[in-house]
């Protein structure tokens, strides 16, 4: 059975909704955002292999709760600049900090999933002046992730990153058959696939098909894997020993097979501020997609406590 043709990437990246699309200049690049609402700023960061649209279920809810909700395409994804370099946590944290300032805000609450969660963990250490609090989804603290790889062996998430170290081949594989592997990964990393109907899968595959998104996405993984030996990676790991003093909400799917619960446990060792942990029942690696109502309720309760 043949698969439906991909949609126009620009069309899905600028999907209509209650939000407003615009571009923001920050940190020497241009970033696409979708925003709705007024009030204290909440910035949402997506993970691999997604784009800002992964937060579509939550932007209006957060805005209705009295916040200015902004979801951005991270460097190399969606409508943001696809630069040849800049896929290390330091540059990416400065990207988000620059977007916050360009939006006219002094600080923001940062919510990140996956790789976006890694940047959320990073910002209170490297860009503390612009972060009020962080909510991290499906991503251990970078020190805990590093320790887990060394002590527990290569996990499922680490295994696919190993294959991304080859030149050219990973990009070709991700782009093959109209980005069919993107749909496969979304299914494989989910505990339930009810959320991933044909239209949703086609949207993610179509956005990923915008070249050179595949190359940029792989560059995130190449830096992360090589960071175990490179001097910039070692410096980053050393800096991330600093305690995080802002409030932290850590959310994880109870059935996440990609980044298991045991890998996330212990992240609070690097948090000296208020810390809350929430396991979302029945969710895999994408709890905000798989169980949007459970995720929404937990996030809104925490956001209101921060704002209070």
DSSP one-letter string for 12-40: HHT--SSSEEEEEEETTEEEEEEEE--SS
- pLDDT cut 70: percent of the chain above it: 93
Contacts of 186 (CB under 8 A, 6+ apart): 49, 196, 201, 204, 286
- pTM of the predicted model as reported, rounded to 2 decimal places: 0.95
d(C-alpha 222, C-alpha 165), whole Å: 6
pLDDT digits (tens, 9 = 90+) for 7-42: 999 999 999 999 999 999 999 999 999 999 999 999
**Cα-only R_g, the chain:** 18
| 41-45 vs 68-72, strand pairing mode | parallel
- Exposed / middle / buried, residue 293 (Cβ in 10 Å: 0-12, 13-18, 19+): exposed
d(C-alpha 240, C-alpha 186), whole Å: 29
Contacts of 220 (CB under 8 A, 6+ apart): 48, 76, 87, 115
9-307 CATH fold: Rossmann fold (3.40.50)
pLDDT, residue 153, reads 52
Q: Quick one: tokens of 153?
A: 């062996």
d(C-alpha 190, C-alpha 254), whole Å: 11
pLDDT digits (tens, 9 = 90+) for 135-158: 999 999 999 988 876 666 545 555
d(C-alpha 136, C-alpha 246), whole Å: 13
């Amino acid at each position: 059975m043949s698969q439906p043709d991909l949609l126009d990437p620009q069309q899905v990246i600028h999907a209509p909704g209650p939000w407003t699309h615009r571009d923001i200049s920050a940190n020497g690049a241009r970033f696409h955002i979708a925003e709705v609402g007024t009030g204290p700023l909440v910035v949402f960061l997506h993970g691999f292999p997604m784009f800002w649209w992964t937060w579509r279920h939550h932007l209006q809810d957060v805005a209705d709760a009295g916040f200015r909700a902004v979801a951005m395409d991270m460097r190399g994804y969606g409508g943001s600049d696809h630069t040849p370099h800049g896929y290390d946590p330091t540059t990416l944290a400065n990207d988000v900090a620059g977007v916050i300032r360009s939006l006219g805000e002094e600080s923001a609450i940062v919510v990140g999933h996956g790789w976006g969660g890694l940047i959320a963990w990073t910002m209170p250490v490297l860009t503390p002046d612009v972060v009020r609090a962080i909510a991290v989804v499906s991503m251990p603290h970078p020190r805990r992730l590093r320790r887990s790889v060394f002590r527990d062996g290569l996990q499922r998430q680490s295994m696919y990153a190993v294959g991304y170290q080859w030149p050219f081949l990973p990009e070709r594989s991700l782009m093959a058959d109209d980005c069919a592997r993107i749909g496969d990964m979304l299914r494989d990393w989910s505990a339930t696939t009810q959320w991933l109907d044909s239209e949703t899968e086609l949207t993610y595959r179509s956005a990923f098909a915008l070249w050179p998104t595949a190359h940029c996405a792989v560059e995130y993984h190449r830096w992360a894997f090589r960071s175990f030996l490179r001097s910039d990676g070692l410096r980053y790991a050393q800096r991330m020993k600093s305690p995080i003093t802002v409030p932290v909400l850590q959310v994880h799917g109870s059935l996440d097979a990609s980044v298991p619960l045991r890998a996330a446990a212990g992240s609070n060792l690097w948090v000296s501020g208020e810390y809350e942990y929430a396991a979302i029942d029945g969710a895999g690696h994408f709890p905000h997609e798989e169980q949007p109502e459970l995720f929404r309720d937990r996030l809104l309760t925490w956001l209101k406590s921060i704002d209070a």
